[in-house]
Amino acid sequence: MSRSGSAIDYRLGSFYALVTAFLFATQEPFSFLAAERLSTIAFVCVTQVALLISIPLLTVRHESRRDFIALLRDPSNYAKLAVIFAIGMSGLLLYNLGLAHAHPIIISAILNLIPFWAALVALIVLKVPIPVSPGVFFGCFAGAFVGAMAVAWSQLDEAQKPALGALADSFLEGSWVYALPVPLCSALGATLIGKWFGNYRESAAIAANFFVANVLLIPTTLALLYGRSELKVDHQLPAVLLMIAGTIIAASIGRVFYQISLTTTGGDNGFVTMFFNLVPALTALISFAMSWRIAALHFSFDPLFFVGLALIGVSLVQFSLKSWRRPARAP
């Protein structure tokens, strides 16, 4: 794949970003049953086990395996790996705090702000300007954001849809404030991986970051589960296996494609994450396909879903065309 200094290609970057959005969209439906049945600690433990399993898959090619070993052999990389791990854990903890009392639809809105934060991170950290004028960027972002929220709302059960008063109460309670930095943490972690490990293959850099998290989190979560007598998951095995498969697809392969997208666009995180507004719609469609075997998953044929999908599609097409027509930027 592209290395640092390669030619910037927004057309190819669009393709990789779309693939990333599809891969990310598999996470929720594949993990749905496990999230319902496992404790938070067990969920984190299974996630880390899945990421550990994915390391040999990410380094199966000789070049990736060589870069993975070289990255871990260099002591100067340890502090960088620790910083990225800390950023990721901060995002996870803040997400849990934010979700504690805020309605999920509010948290969803906050997470869908990632293109704004990602563009800001790319500008500050890498000095990468957005590929279009501010008016086009924020106009397309607003359209895609509204579309994504319409899709998310359309898929809520009637019992899950809060009255405006309840939604206002959840907003005023203020725990959603904790979730505000979560998309910033996601964007910052990806940008720093590209900045610090750009001379290594993306799959090797992601595998090294997984390895650090595995070393720290798997023993810790196993010890906690042992102390609570929660190590047995025999009766949850199908849900756990499904979650492991989803985590490998989304959190492992998806993360690699995310980094490839950034490499291809010269670190333009705002451009890449704009396509993530497709994730709610793709998640709903994947859930529909899987609902034939997993009754708990559902897809609502609400007209609002198709209105939201149309808004996202129009916004992304306009954003892509405007980006492609801009003069080439030096890598």
pLDDT at 46 over 80: yes
Quick one: tokens of 170? 């959840």
244-254 confidence digits (pLDDT tens): 999 999 999 99
Q: Which position has the higher pLDDT, 214 or 3? A: 214
For CA atoms 142, 145, 151, 152, the dihedral sign is negative
Share of the chain above pLDDT 70, in %: 88
* Segments making up each domain of the chain, as ranges: 10-324
pLDDT at 70 over 80: yes
pLDDT at position 176: 73
pLDDT at position 174: 61
pLDDT at position 212: 96
131-150 confidence digits (pLDDT tens): 889 999 999 999 999 999 99
Q: What does the mean pLDDT of the chain come to?
A: 88
pLDDT at 270 over 70: yes
- Cβ contacts of 322 within 8 Å, gap of 6 or more: 131, 132, 133, 136, 140
Distances in Å between the Cα of 93 and the Cα atoms of 29, 180, 202 are 22, 12, 26
Angle made by CA atoms 304, 288, 162, in degrees to the nearest 5: 45
pLDDT at 62 over 90: yes
pLDDT at position 291: 85
pLDDT at position 229: 82
Q: Output the pTM of the full model.
A: 0.89
Q: CA–CA separation, 323 vs 331, rounded Å?
A: 16
Q: Which position has the higher pLDDT, 189 or 171? A: 189
Distances in Å between the Cα of 157 and the Cα atoms of 246, 307, 310, 321 are 24, 18, 22, 36
